[in-house]
Amino acid sequence: MSAVLQLHQNREQIYARLAPSDELSPNHQWLACMIASWCAGQGVLPDYLGLEPAQFAAMTQHFFPGRTLPAQAPSGRTLDFSRMLEKDDLVNLLKNAGKPDSLELDWLIGIIVAGCLGSDHLWQDLGLWSRPQLSAMLQHNFPALAAKNDKDMKWKKFLYKQLCEAEGLYLCRVPSCEVCVDYLKCYGSEE
């Protein structure tokens, strides 16, 4: 029997239904956090969490069997991937840096790329509950890439900086920084 999530619950209640055990894999826990936030209308992830419908169904069946997740974003948010010219570059960057033996890597990459279209910090846009959660998820799944962020740069800015450096560009900006509440922390005076 399939259990339908009650979307009027807060993310902690939804998380408890998605992740009833402390013995979950780290990726299962992070996905449960993102989905709980998404179901509560938080973050920017669009329909299917930014995945293709078949990927969403496979991810749901693998991690949340017996749970019925909404296919459409409960927040009603949509993302315009046409404004993301670097989508394929981000996917390739993450694929090349990811653990090759990880079943869920493609799902995580799709979700992370969708989150990069948001206008806040990546952890918030993904619906994670803290920046350390995002750091741990990236270190777990993309260890070599995460290790390059040795200056604790904001993750979205860091990913775009990696794309720019791969192209030989050393001055680039993340597409939504100007509306971020921490804009001055990243781009303000260093004095």
The pLDDT confidence band at residue 141, using thresholds 50, 70 and 90, is very high
More confident residue, 127 or 83: 127
- Long-range CB contact pairs, 138-142, < 8 A, 24+: 140/26, 140/27, 141/27, 141/98, 141/99, 141/102, 141/105, 141/108, 142/94, 142/97, 142/98, 142/99
Q: What pLDDT, on a 0 to 100 scale, did the predictor assign at position 180?
A: 57
β-pairing verdict for 67-68 and 3-4: parallel
pLDDT in tens, 16-63: 989 877 778 999 999 999 999 999 999 999 999 999 999 999 999 999
User: What pTM value is reported for the model?
Assistant: 0.85
The domain segmentation of the chain, as residue ranges, is 3-187
Question: What value does the mean pLDDT take over residues 157-182?
Answer: 69
